[in-house]
């Protein structure tokens, strides 16, 4: 479509024919003089409108990264927000919205939350270092939430790890209001603090950020205040069978939906693939990523393949990685507990993160350094997913989450997670599917009208 609309020709250079005679947009009047045909201008305007509508329906792809890997795809409609260097200038984040910001090296930024006394608030921050950025193994991102008296409500850090490959990483913060929380329970102003850690060996580049804010309503009745003591922590039986092709997304917002089974894609060094898995209350998620063998090259890449898990509010849960010698390799997540509301009262961070139902994100990354030993690829990758256990009823929430349905698994989610389901993807791609069909129909209708007009003109001549 870009070729049609670019340059000096395009639609203007196309000649419409009826029979074997070439016609212009006029008809002969008395005395041999040409006069504009009455229907021509109308049809031409309609056709132009249809072409423009089709062009608008096609999302403009993001520019390719320097190393050929796809760049991060931010959520459509993200709001710009500037991180402040002091709390007094902090801008507000509202639950249910996604924001774009940036974090300089040695930076420490503040954002504001205005909270009630009953809801639990979450903020996830995704850092997106650009391709070619140098990062150290301990380099990473720290997110915390503090009250107006500098009391810490939560603190989490994520790092790039041994591969030292720049890729999207996320950390989350929370203000919880449960019965076991002594601090940070009241209504008022809170601050999200975002900072880089151990960045002395990294490039001086500024990192783009994507921030996601959400809220969880309280329960109508207080339930258990301890995480389940017993759950199946044994490694599950491996998922086998023929893999189904499903392309991964380029960001959280555009993650492709997958369910139990094996899913196949291609990945280039430096690229990150995003998938989302519907996991209901009471279900236990397990996942493994497999990197296919190389057709050439030699050597060893530390932590070449990584598989990270994030919960429905994009909170970091766990990660696995494996080196690569050119032979097939795999990275499997350690067993995690079934999704349960009381998990938030557990001791381990991995248990606390499995606290609600919804879409969990599997993020697969192939280290950029892989290209130095084994070429630019692409390499085959298979994602094997299990969700064990029967779905249970949701806890009795006293209110609605923001965004709505964030902590639910819908019938549409289940359908999309099947091999024959629609994978989902970014809103732009969904708009293309709908808009392309609708606008294509419009084009056919206009062309039909054009043909009818041309036939009438031919009869008049």
pLDDT tens-digit profile of 115-165?
999 999 999 999 999 988 999 999 999 999 999 999 999 999 999 988 899
Q: Is 16 helix (H, G, I), strand (E, B) or coil?
A: coil
Q: What is the pLDDT, as a whole number, of residue 69?
A: 56
Residue 229 lies in a domain: no
Residue 95 lies in a domain: yes
The mean per-residue pLDDT over the stretch 36-48 comes to: 45
Residue 438 lies in a domain: yes
Residue 228 lies in a domain: no
> Do 374 and 457 sit in the same domain of this protein?
no
Of 107-121, 194-208, 265-279, give the lowest mean pLDDT range: 194-208
> Do 278 and 413 sit in the same domain of this protein?
yes
> Do 194 and 151 sit in the same domain of this protein?
yes
Please tell me the distance from the alpha carbon of residue 57 to that of residue 164, in angstroms, as a whole number. 38
Asked if residue 442 has pLDDT above 80, the reply is no
CATH of the domain at 295: 2.60.120.380
Q: How confident is the model at residue 199 (pLDDT cuts 50, 70, 90)?
A: confident
Partners of 276 in the beta sheet?
Answer: 257, 361
> Do 313 and 379 sit in the same domain of this protein?
yes
Of 54-58, 90-94, 186-190, 357-361, give the lowest mean pLDDT range: 54-58
pLDDT tens for residues 450-460? 444 444 444 44
> Do 419 and 431 sit in the same domain of this protein?
no
Q: What is the pLDDT, as a whole number, of residue 424?
A: 58
Please tell me the distance from the alpha carbon of residue 174 to that of residue 314, in angstroms, as a whole number. 12
Residue 12 lies in a domain: no
Q: How confident is the model at residue 316 (pLDDT cuts 50, 70, 90)?
A: very high
> Do 107 and 172 sit in the same domain of this protein?
yes
CA 437 to chain centre: 24
Record the pTM.
0.79
Q: What is the pLDDT, as a whole number, of residue 231?
A: 85
Residue 72 lies in a domain: no
- Indicate the number of domains in the chain: 3
What per-residue string of b and e applies to 102-117 under the rule 16 or more CB within 10 Å gives b? Answer: bbeeeeebbbbbebee
> Do 372 and 445 sit in the same domain of this protein?
no
Calculated CA dihedral for residues 269, 272, 273, 274, nearest 10 degrees: 170
Q: What is the pLDDT, as a whole number, of residue 185?
A: 86
> Do 184 and 285 sit in the same domain of this protein?
no
Contact in structure between 281 and 391 (CB atoms under 8 Å): yes
Helix/strand/coil percentages in the chain, nearest 5? 20, 35, 45
77: left (phi over 0), alpha (psi -120 to 50) or beta: left
Asked if residue 27 has pLDDT above 60, the reply is no
H/E run at residue 114: strand 108-115
Q: What is the pLDDT, as a whole number, of residue 45?
A: 47
Please tell me the distance from the alpha carbon of residue 290 to that of residue 54, in angstroms, as a whole number. 39
Q: How confident is the model at residue 237 (pLDDT cuts 50, 70, 90)?
A: confident
Look at residues 271, 92, 104 and name the one whose alpha carbon lies nearest to residue 188. 92
> Do 340 and 436 sit in the same domain of this protein?
no
Asked if residue 22 has pLDDT above 50, the reply is no
> Do 411 and 448 sit in the same domain of this protein?
no
| Residue span of the structural domain in which 334 resides | 242-392+405-425
Asked if residue 83 has pLDDT above 50, the reply is yes
pLDDT tens for residues 392-426? 999 999 999 999 999 999 999 999 999 987 765 44
Residue 14 lies in a domain: no
> Do 203 and 320 sit in the same domain of this protein?
no
Of 190, 222, 254, the one marking the end of a domain is: 222
> Do 203 and 268 sit in the same domain of this protein?
no
CA 214 to chain centre: 16
Q: What is the pLDDT, as a whole number, of residue 236?
A: 83
Q: Which two tokens stand for residue 185?
A: 């329970």
Residue 172 lies in a domain: yes
């Amino acid at each position: 479509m870009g070729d049609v609309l670019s340059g000096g020709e395009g639609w203007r250079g196309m000649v419409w024919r009826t029979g074997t005679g070439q016609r212009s947009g006029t008809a002969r009047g008395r005395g041999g003089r040409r006069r504009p045909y009455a229907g021509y201008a109308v049809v031409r305007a309609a056709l132009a409108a249809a072409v423009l509508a089709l062009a608008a329906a096609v999302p403009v792809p993001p520019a390719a990264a320097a190393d050929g890997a796809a760049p991060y795809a931010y959520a459509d409609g993200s709001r710009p927000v500037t991180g402040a260097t002091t709390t007094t200038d902090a801008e507000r984040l509202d639950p249910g919205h996604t924001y774009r910001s940036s974090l300089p090296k040695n930076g420490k930024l503040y954002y504001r939350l205005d909270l009630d006394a009953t809801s639990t608030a979450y903020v996830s921050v995704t850092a997106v270092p650009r391709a070619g950025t140098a990062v150290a193994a301990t380099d990473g991102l720290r997110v915390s939430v503090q009250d107006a008296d500098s009391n810490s409500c939560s603190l989490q850090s994520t790092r790039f790890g041994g591969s030292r490959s720049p890729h999207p990483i996320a950390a989350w913060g929370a203000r919880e209001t449960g019965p076991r929380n002594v601090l940070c329970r009241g209504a008022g102003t809170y601050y999200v603090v975002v900072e880089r850690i151990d960045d002395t060996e990294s490039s001086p580049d500024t990192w783009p950020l994507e921030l996601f804010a959400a809220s969880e309503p309280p329960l109508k009745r207080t339930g258990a205040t301890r995480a389940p003591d017993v759950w199946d922590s044994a490694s599950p039986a491996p998922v086998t069978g023929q893999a189904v092709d499903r392309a991964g997304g380029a960001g959280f917002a555009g993650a492709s939906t997958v369910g139990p089974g094996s899913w196949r894609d291609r990945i280039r060094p430096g690229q990150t693939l995003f998938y989302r898995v519907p996991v209901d209350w009471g279900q236990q998620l397990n996942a493994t990523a497999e990197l296919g063998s190389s057709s050439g090259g030699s050597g060893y890449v530390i932590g070449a393949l990584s598989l990270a898990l994030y919960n429905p509010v994009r909170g970091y849960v766990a990660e696995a990685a494996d080196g690569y010698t050119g032979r097939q390799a795999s990275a499997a997540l350690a067993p995690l507990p079934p999704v349960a509301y009381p998990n938030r009262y557990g001791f381990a961070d991995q248990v606390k993160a499995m606290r609600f139902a919804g879409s969990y994100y599997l993020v697969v990354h192939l280290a950029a350094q892989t290209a130095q030993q084994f070429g630019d690829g692409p390499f085959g990758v298979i994602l094997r997913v299990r969700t064990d256990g029967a779905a249970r009823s949701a806890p009795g929430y006293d209110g609605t989450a923001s965004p709505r349905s964030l902590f639910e698994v819908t019938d549409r989610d289940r359908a999309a997670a099947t091999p024959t389901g629609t994978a989902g993807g970014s809103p732009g791609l969904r708009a293309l599917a709908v808009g392309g069909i609708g606008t294509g129909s419009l084009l056919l209708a206009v062309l039909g009208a054009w043909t009818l007009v041309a036939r009438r003109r031919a009869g008049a001549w």
